[in-house]
Amino acid sequence: MIIVLKPKASEADAKEILAGIERLGLTPLHMPGVERVVLGALGDERVLRELNLSGHPAVESVKPILTPYKLVGRELHPHDTVVNIGEVPVGGREFAVVAGPCAVETTDQLMACAEAVKAQGARLMRGGAFKPRSSPYSFQGHGHEGLRMLKEVSGKTGLPIVTEIMDANDIDRMEEIVGAYQVGARNMQNFSLLKALGRSRKPVILKRGLAATIEEFLLAAEYILAGGNDNVILCERGIRTFETATRNTLDLNAVAYIKQRSHLPILVDPSHGTGIRELVTPLARAAAAVGADGIIVEVHHDPKLALSDGHQSLYPQEFKQLMADIKPFVEAAGRVLA
């Protein structure tokens, strides 16, 4: 439920109502605004009737939250959220660029990629130590040794690291290394992992599942916020359709729709969204135009030698061109490159 207090309601009134909500076993939320204080109550709304809030002298209105995603939606949280990965904001006025190789291969490879993307203005680096692959015979990443390489390169370059987490048991080991956890498309509905990440306070980039509806996507994010972690960034990375010309169909409709329904920032991944190197830059421009808060792209210093997704990875010179090409689109959307 959403409880809107009257303009002259006091802090004591808000505390009294919040205490009553908590006493009934519901989750209380306190969202002070410029003109109104808004309170929330998550749980069985029938229980809330015991407080008779509509008759409280400090309460202006009480109404149900209509969307199934209570914390992710704009009903309770109308203003855009900005999530900081290290000192890099994702959301708000700045357009974030996350770039780097699909997989961690060697320290030299990782350092070459890091230097290449940093030189062109990327302030966040991606790279997978753990790689979920469709085939059990494909390169699966270097695991914990890959995390060691990421830590070393991050320390030398100052770039916060975005890397995929597949197992909740790795959270403690990864916490001091990563700038943000990435939950891949295959794990979007791994609810035990989402709940565990909800107990962390580290930012989480949640990728949309291969065939997930927008509501399922937002409800997956709800799991993390419901656990207490507000630092969630969504990522549209393409969905599986009947079309076979591209690896996936990049659903830019979803970006515009989600910006209307949710306060969370959202990135676009044109690398996985298309699977074709030549299409990454055009779709990155489109992502900026449609209102995305940033992009996450694959860049490899020598894609033909890449152990994973080399066909969709940009060469450093192509990434340089991408950064130049998206700038006018970012600026036209009223933003600046982070």
The per-residue pLDDT for 287 is 98
Q: Is 83-337 the same fold as 2-63? A: no
Considering only CA atoms, which of 210, 213, 193, 267 is closest in space to residue 235?
267
pLDDT in tens, 232-278: 999 999 999 999 999 999 999 999 999 999 999 999 999 999 999 99
The per-residue pLDDT for 120 is 97
**In the chain, domain spans:** 2-63, 83-337
Q: Which stretches of the chain drop beneath a pLDDT of 50?
A: none
Sign of CA dihedral 14, 15, 21, 27: positive
Beta strands in 121-218 (DSSP E): 124-126, 161-164, 180-183, 204-207
The per-residue pLDDT for 283 is 98
DSSP β-ladder status, 27-32 and 37-42: antiparallel
The per-residue pLDDT for 32 is 79
The per-residue pLDDT for 34 is 67
DSSP β-ladder status, 180-183 and 161-164: parallel
Cα–Cα distance for residue pair 306/309, rounded to 1 Å: 7
Q: For the domain covering 83-337, report its CATH number.
A: 3.20.20.70
How high is the mean pLDDT of the chain?
Answer: 94
> What is each CA distance from 26 to 17, 19, 197, 200, 211, in whole angstroms?
12, 10, 22, 22, 33
Q: For the domain covering 2-63, report its CATH number.
A: 3.30.70.1140
